[in-house]
Amino acid sequence: MKILYWVGDAKENLREFRGTVQDEAGTTLRKIQYGQTPVSACPLNNLAKGVTGVYELKIDHDKETYRVVYVAKLAKGVYVLHAFLKKSKSGIGIPPKDKDIILRRYKMARQHDGA
């Protein structure tokens, strides 16, 4: 089983989710720690040049979409980069503010991992 690392305030953000959403995210992250790739995991290709292995979990609840972004390919463990409620009513992409957070934390995770 890989260690789960929380980057920045990702854990605090996840704790602000509704209870059932927290439970689903926690169960799914545990599966990822054991090397499984959940059906709900979508690769985030095209985040930026050289950024690979980043996945997004989408959890729909009560007409809202919660997202948990992680990278599992690093040697030391699974890094949860960001957790947020997607509020945008238009477009399916990640809002620029959240994309910036993900990219910054991806770099932090790679540094921590020694990659």
> If DSSP codes are grouped into helix, strand and coil, which group holds residue 75?
coil
CA–CA distance from 14 to each of 26, 69, 111 (Å)?
A: 9, 11, 23
- Is residue 14 within 8 A of residue 88, CB to CB? The reply is no
List the single range of 34-38, 70-74, 90-94, 105-109 with lowest mean pLDDT: 90-94
The pLDDT tens digits of the residues spanning 34-68 come to: 999 999 899 999 899 999 999 999 999 998 999 99
Domain that holds residue 44: 3-113
Report the CATH number that the domain containing residue 64 is assigned in CATH. Answer: 3.30.2310.20
- Top pLDDT among 33 and 63 is at 33
Query: What's the number of domains the chain is made of?
Result: 1
